[in-house]
Structure 1
Amino acid sequence: MAGPADPALTIDDVKLPTDHSNPHVRRLFSFWAPTQSTMRGWAMASVVVNAGITVTGAGVRVTASGLGCPTWPQCTPDSFIPVAHPEVDPLNMAVEFGNRLLTFLVLAVGVACVLSAWRMVPRRRSLVRLALLQPAGILFQALWGGLVVSTMLNPLTVGVHYLASSALIAACWMLYARAGEGDAPVRRVAHRDVRRLGHVLLAAVFALLVAGVVVSGTGPHSGDEMASRFDLDIETVARLHADIAYVVAGLTFALLFALHVTKSARPARRAALGLFVVVLLQGVIGYTQWFLAVPAVLVLLHVVGSTLVWIGALRAVTSLRTRDPEPAPAGRSPAEAAAAV
């Protein structure tokens, strides 16, 4: 004779990964039950992985591995993974294929950001829209990477590839910044003219990135001996790049000085100081690599610096404003409630 049937499981009986005793497991699956803190954590992770793949992409270039996988989306004409190829060095193939594999990590973090934003309670449309930029941007980057290969590392397509990564980093940083704020209208934490100075600084940093792309497309590290170069004078474009760097350094110092004079919020002053230090270090790296005939290691370090300068500029600008939580809708007065009945 059968005993009593087991009671049906309820949601309280189901142990989700977010309830796991191991804090690392809980953190890994936090996108399923996100909080403001874990949402910001995933957004920062997206900044890190997108900055990382930008740097490893430069590593592909300075190791002459740009055509280590000579086809796309396959690595070789007959295989998606590296196989022996008579015309390609195995090390170059491994470097290029490894960089391609990192795309899946970037995509996974981007999907986690989307799920976190979607499952936030209450759901915030501003975060969902910013999070959706990540998979869209990664898809664009993957397709553009195919164009880079098919054009044999044309410096224009390579440059756009880098600038698109910078735009994606900006979207990730804005998700991080907005996840720590509310959705009320923007409130300044610095004087209006100081904010304008910050915007000018951000535009100057982007111009510096563009000039750096031109220098890279003219210089010796093309990614492969078959790649073309911009038909420009390297000394002229390098001097232009240096001139813009001086402008960025001056604007950064001006922002730092203005924030201290106006006694602005401490986070804004710290962000400006951090940016100023990174800009100075980047200048030292830039001049050193020039006088040492542009060695590959310093070129890679310079790309790391340019990525940090861009993130630092984004941090400095977003620290000049904030948003408060939206006020809760006011309840109806007793007279209005009686009238509704």
Structure 2
Amino acid sequence: MTAADQPQSRAGDTRPRAFLDGLRSRALDLFHSAWSPTPFTVRRWALAAVVVNAGITVTGAAVRLTGSGLGCPTWPRCTPGSFVPAAHDAHSPVNMAIEFGNRLLTFLVLAVAAACVVAVLRVAPRRSSLVRLAWIQPIGVAVQALWGGLVVRSLLNPVTVSVHFLLSIGMIAAAFALYARSGEGDAPPRRLVHRDIRTLGFVLVAATLVLLIAGVVVTGTGPHSGDEAASRFDFDIETMARLHADTVWVVLGLTFALLFALHVTDSPGRARRGALILLGVELAQGVIGYVQYFLAVPALLVGLHVLGSTLVWIATLRVVFLMRSRGPGGRLASGHDELDVVGV
């Protein structure tokens, strides 16, 4: 080795160590953000809970769409006698890996849930409203895990699968409530818009929930059951799809009415922007829905549609929270929240 080669060799030797040092530093930063939290880091952990709950909702759909719903045919073990995938005549290694990978993501959701609880317990001053909301996360993960076992043991019965999705929707709502409440104070809620507009927002949330329920019924009636052994709802798929589409138009109409009312009453700009973003997300979701219907519901578009449904739900919740205030709290220094940055 020449002298000219030595510096390069030394640099090459230090790269793995530098990479490990960087990982260690980031891990410590994550630990301290929960163990020695500020209102800012509490809010960030709540946002992480929204993201991971939405993420596992979409990956759960991917398990079904790839026919991997019974890739791990037992619960809590993956295969009889093994918690990790083992050779099984009835299931391919790919399907087993997909289902097992989704089960592993539960631990990520649980870790974020635990971080939320630790952060709200250790932040000063401690806020009981945030503590109650944070505890929903680990409890919800446990309920979801147990219900997931019922889904497997029922051979992907569409009722259990539908409830599994709706529990995820509830978890997203609880995580978003934690996120929103961590960015404001504990004063009594004060309306920022006219009372009737606020009521219209609540009606929109209820209609969106009905839309999600209609969507899971359509899903439980159509293809992509998750496994050949899975049963289906005994409904006419054409009829259910049309009812779902009708509900879409109701939600779009309510959203347009809310957006119009917010503009003509000179409501806060953040609420108007939130309603406009919601309308845009709904229109994109509607386009995906109609395209997948006319293309005989290809798996990729169905997966995008599930992602769209979670974004519609989050954007709807955000609009409602933007129409009231509980006083100043742990806002970001810029005066905007993280969801403003990502455009949700």
Is the pair's TM-score, using the shorter chain for normalization, greater than 0.5?
yes
Q: Which of 260-269 and 43-52 deviates more?
A: 260-269
Mapping of residues 179-218 of structure 1, within 5 Å? 179-218=182-221
* Helix, strand or coil at the partner of 1:130: helix
The alignment status of 1:171 with 2:197, answered yes or no, reads no
- State the Cα deviation string for residues 242-264 of structure 1 (Å, max 9, x = none): 00000000111111111111111
- State the Cα deviation string for residues 193-240 of structure 1 (Å, max 9, x = none): 110000000000000000000000000110001100000000000000
In structure 1, the residue matched to 2:48 is 45
In structure 2, the residue matched to 1:135 is 138
Partners of 1:322 and 1:223 in 2: CA distance: 43
- In the alignment, residue 40 of structure 2 is paired with which amino acid? S
In structure 1, the residue matched to 2:244 is 241
Partners of 1:225 and 1:252 in 2: CA distance: 39
* Helix, strand or coil at the partner of 2:190: strand
Structure 2 gap segments, 5+ residues each: 1-22, 330-344
Over alpha carbons, which structure has the higher Rg? Answer: 1
In structure 1, the residue matched to 2:105 is 102
The alignment status of 1:264 with 2:255, answered yes or no, reads no
- In the alignment, residue 128 of structure 1 is paired with which amino acid? V
Partners of 1:21 and 1:161 in 2: CA distance: 36
Q: For residue 267 of structure 1, report the CA deviation from its aligned partner.
A: 1.1
Q: For residue 191 of structure 1, report the CA deviation from its aligned partner.
A: 1.0
- In the alignment, residue 216 of structure 1 is paired with which amino acid? T
In structure 1, the residue matched to 2:279 is 276
Q: Assess if the C-alpha contact under 8 Å between 1:184 and 1:323 holds in 2.
A: yes
Q: For residue 276 of structure 1, report the CA deviation from its aligned partner.
A: 0.2
The list of structure 1 runs, each at least 4 consecutive aligned residues, that deviate by more than 4 angstroms after superposition, is 20-24
Mapping of residues 75-154 of structure 1, within 5 Å? 75-154=78-157
Q: For residue 24 of structure 1, report the CA deviation from its aligned partner.
A: 6.8
Q: Assess if the C-alpha contact under 8 Å between 1:55 and 1:303 holds in 2.
A: yes
Structure 1 gap segments, 5+ residues each: 1-19, 327-341
* Helix, strand or coil at the partner of 1:29: helix
In structure 2, the residue matched to 1:14 is none
Residue 33 of structure 2 is aligned with which of 17, 27, 30? Answer: 30
Partners of 2:122 and 2:327 in 1: CA distance: 21
- State the Cα deviation string for residues 161-195 of structure 1 (Å, max 9, x = none): 00000000000000000000111100111111110
TM-score (structure 1 length as normaliser): 0.88
TM-score (structure 2 length as normaliser): 0.87
Partners of 1:39 and 1:305 in 2: CA distance: 27
Q: For residue 27 of structure 1, report the CA deviation from its aligned partner.
A: 4.1
Partners of 2:51 and 2:192 in 1: CA distance: 27
Q: For residue 293 of structure 1, report the CA deviation from its aligned partner.
A: 0.5
**Per the alignment, do residues 31 and 254 of structure 1 end up closer, same or farther by CA in structure 2, a change over 3 Å counting?**
same
Percent identity of the aligned residues? 66
Partners of 1:320 and 1:241 in 2: CA distance: 28
- In the alignment, residue 208 of structure 2 is paired with which amino acid? V
Q: For residue 65 of structure 1, report the CA deviation from its aligned partner.
A: 0.2
* Helix, strand or coil at the partner of 1:277: helix
Residue 298 of structure 2 is aligned with which of 295, 299, 302? Answer: 295
In structure 2, the residue matched to 1:156 is 159
**Per the alignment, do residues 79 and 175 of structure 1 end up closer, same or farther by CA in structure 2, a change over 3 Å counting?**
same
Q: For residue 35 of structure 1, report the CA deviation from its aligned partner.
A: 1.0
Q: Assess if the C-alpha contact under 8 Å between 1:182 and 1:325 holds in 2.
A: yes
**Per the alignment, do residues 102 and 218 of structure 1 end up closer, same or farther by CA in structure 2, a change over 3 Å counting?**
same
The alignment status of 1:254 with 2:257, answered yes or no, reads yes
Q: Assess if the C-alpha contact under 8 Å between 1:63 and 1:223 holds in 2.
A: yes
Partners of 1:255 and 1:76 in 2: CA distance: 50
Partners of 2:59 and 2:146 in 1: CA distance: 18
Partners of 2:141 and 2:281 in 1: CA distance: 27
Partners of 2:283 and 2:32 in 1: CA distance: 39
In structure 2, the residue matched to 1:8 is none
Partners of 1:137 and 1:53 in 2: CA distance: 13
Q: For residue 132 of structure 1, report the CA deviation from its aligned partner.
A: 0.1
Q: Which of 284-293 and 82-91 deviates more?
A: 82-91
Q: Assess if the C-alpha contact under 8 Å between 1:137 and 1:168 holds in 2.
A: yes
Q: For residue 33 of structure 1, report the CA deviation from its aligned partner.
A: 1.1
Partners of 2:32 and 2:320 in 1: CA distance: 31
Q: For residue 146 of structure 1, report the CA deviation from its aligned partner.
A: 0.3
- In the alignment, residue 108 of structure 1 is paired with which amino acid? A
Q: Assess if the C-alpha contact under 8 Å between 1:27 and 1:38 holds in 2.
A: no
- In the alignment, residue 283 of structure 2 is paired with which amino acid? L
In structure 2, the residue matched to 1:3 is none
